[in-house]
Amino acid sequence: MAEVVAVLDFGSQYTQVIARRLRECQVYSKVLPFSTSAEELKKEGVKGVILSGGPSSVFADNAPHPDKAIFDLGVPVLGICYGIQLLGYLLGGKAEHSEEREYGKGTLTITGESPLLNGVNKTIQVWNSHGDKLTELPEGFTPVATTENSDFAAIQDTKRQFFGLQFHPEVFHTEQGTDIIRNFVFDICKCEGDWTMESYIESSIASIRDTVGDKKVILGLSGGVDSSVAAKLIHDAIGTQLTCVFVDNGLLRKDEREAVKKLYGDHFQINLVVADSADLFLERLAGVTDPEQKRKIIGNTFIDVFEDEVEIIGTVDFLAQGTIYPDIIESVPIDGNPASLIKSHHNVGGLPERMKLKILEPLNQLFKDEVRLLGKSLGLPDSVVWRQPFPGPGLAVRVLGDITEDKLVVLREADAILLEEMKAADLYYKVWQSFAVFLPVRTVGVMGDERTYDNVIALRIVESVDAMTADWAKLDHDLLAKISNRIINEVKGVNRVVLDISSKPPSTIEWE
């Protein structure tokens, strides 16, 4: 069994980031509720415990406190942010509201020897977000670093192997934060770093089997990275107890439906139901031009179709979703208040409550790049694992204005040519997204001796790392010329191709 370091969750938005840093050190981390008993931790055989940050004040009524017996387990404990306050407060020191809240970047100065800070520069930039601070240390503790506003920015009791950090070593803004975490797991907890993706798969499969038992699971497969990886992982765990539903909403790209059927149904032999609901979606979308209205209709129709499918399938107990960690919370603060980055996720809202289904989200502790690695390890092809993002509402937000089947046909053909050329030029996987947009205008052209009055296709090709910001890709002019010529020559009804040269912000990636 892999070595485990437990991360007790006191509600910080960074808890999963701590877990991720541990995985990067190839140490298996388990995020557990703050109230997990020492007895349970002992059963897990934990080699160390990390107390996460959290929004509360340790001395407030109802503040979350851990089982105090964890301090008698004989394993190292690291308290981060709220966690350091807990160490101080529960072990006999004093924590108080601070006059100067420390928030954002600060400078840490190391003032003493510490195995936790080994190899770290004497002064580093750190990321703070706390209102309270320790004013008196418990017996046995000594301070080993300070910040502008805190004499106890890092503390330790090396005899008992207890350590506390007022700042967040796990976030990207803290310099050498990874070194600090490595020191904790390797030098202090004596972990060996034996965790691999294979062992993650093994434990995920065991946990899915344990949760599901002999019950049935349904999953809405979109063909995107997250739902595909979730489907393959769950299928590996419970085989035919899983049924995937692929909703053909009529807003898919060219050949998409066939590709999904071939890979998941034929190749992986997953129970796959294809819901043929293009007509219903297009009927409900007829004449609708407002983008948000389109999204709402598509979301609601999806739920209706999904419910009908579940009815046909029979008794289902679990709804599986490919929710990943950043769907729930954004990992790295960009600037300002990190809490403002908490976002609601795009997944099928409202469905589980209405259908009284239990939720199964086996990827909800993983970041996108980890999901890709997992997908690779599960044997999914690059065309799935490295697929460009495609919005849930599909081509509906790429046919500007009202949607008709005729427009969709034109857009699909143009889009397929763009994607084909991007792949041929070895650029498909290098850009963030590349797609065609159908504009709601017609322009005059001339083909042969004839005047045409036809549609315009815009090319949107962007580079980005996280879709929060993006820039238009500076593609070779010859390639752009080829794409444009092919679209105008091969797609009936298009006489003009334009290139979108806007960055995000102020534009967005999609046009609607």
- Which residues have a catalytic role annotated? 81, 168, 170
Neighbours of 490 (CB within 10 A): 12
DSSP state of 252: P
- Output the six-digit token pair for 427: 């650029």
For residue 68, with 0-12 CB atoms within 10 Å meaning exposed, 13-18 middle and 19 or more buried, which class applies? exposed
Q: How far is the CB of 467 from ligand XMP (least distance, A)?
A: 4
Residues in 392-411 at the binding interface with ligand XMP, rule: CB under 6 A = 392-393
Nearest distance, CB of residue 470 and ligand XMP, angstroms = 7
The number of residues that bind ligand XMP (CB under 6 A) is 12
Select from 86-94, 236-244, 476-484, 503-511 the region that touches ligand XMP (CB under 6 A).
503-511
* Binder of ligand XMP out of 115, 389, 445, 493 (CB under 6 A): 389
**Quick one: which segment of 69-77, 105-113, 164-172, 386-394 binds ligand XMP (CB under 6 A)?**
386-394
Question: Which of 25, 50, 363, 509 touches ligand XMP (CB under 6 A)?
Answer: 509
Half-sphere exposure of 437 (CA within 13 A, CB side): 20
Q: For residue 468, what are the CA distances in angstroms to 17, 267, 277, 487?
A: 19, 35, 32, 30
Q: Which is nearer to ligand XMP, 347 or 455 (CB)?
A: 347
Least Å distance, CB 426 to ligand XMP, is 21
- Strand stretches in 464-502, DSSP E: 471-472, 494-499
Torsion angle in degrees (nearest 10) through CA of 330, 333, 338, 339: 0
Q: Could you tell me the smallest distance in angstroms from the CB atom of residue 388 to ligand XMP?
A: 8
Minimum Å distance from CB 407 to ligand XMP?
Answer: 19
Q: How far is the CB of 83 from ligand XMP (least distance, A)?
A: 34
Q: Which is nearer to ligand XMP, 86 or 462 (CB)?
A: 462
Decide whether 55 or 392 has the Cβ nearer to ligand XMP.
Answer: 392
Which residues within the stretch 327-346 sit at the binding site for ligand XMP (CB under 6 A)?
346
Site for ligand XMP, residues 246 to 305, rule: CB under 6 A: 295
- Angle between helical axes of 278-285 and 291-313 (0-180°, round to 10): 150
Q: Which stretch binds ligand XMP (CB under 6 A): 11-19, 300-308, 312-320, 384-392?
A: 384-392
Residue 446: count other Cβ atoms within 10 Å of its Cβ.
Answer: 9
Least separation in angstroms between residue 504's CB and ligand XMP is: 5
3-state DSSP of 308-353: HHHHHHCCCCEEECCCCHHHHCCCCCCCCCHHHHCCCCCCCCCHHH
Q: Is 68 in the site for ligand XMP (CB under 6 A)?
A: no
Contact by Cβ (8 Å): 255, 412? no
Which residues, 428 to 447, sit near ligand XMP by CB under 6 A? 433
Give the nearest distance from C-beta 344 to ligand XMP in angstroms.
12
Site map 450..489 versus ligand XMP, x via CB under 6 A = -----------------x----------------------
Q: Given candidates 176, 391, 407, 484, which one binds ligand XMP under the rule CB under 6 A?
A: 391
Give the residue from 10, 4, 18, 6 showing the smallest Cα distance to 34. Answer: 10
Record the tokens describing residue 25, joined without a space. 């050190």
Nearer to ligand XMP, 190 or 296 (CB): 296
Instruction: Give me 262's structure tokens.
Output: 């071939």
First and final C-alpha spacing in the chain:
49
The single residue among 37, 337, 383, 508 that binds ligand XMP, judged by CB under 6 A, is 508
SS3 of residue 185 by DSSP: helix
Nearer to ligand XMP, 211 or 502 (CB): 502
CA distance 81 to 166: 4
* Binding footprint of ligand XMP on the chain (CB under 6 A): 295, 346, 389, 391-393, 433, 467, 504, 508-510
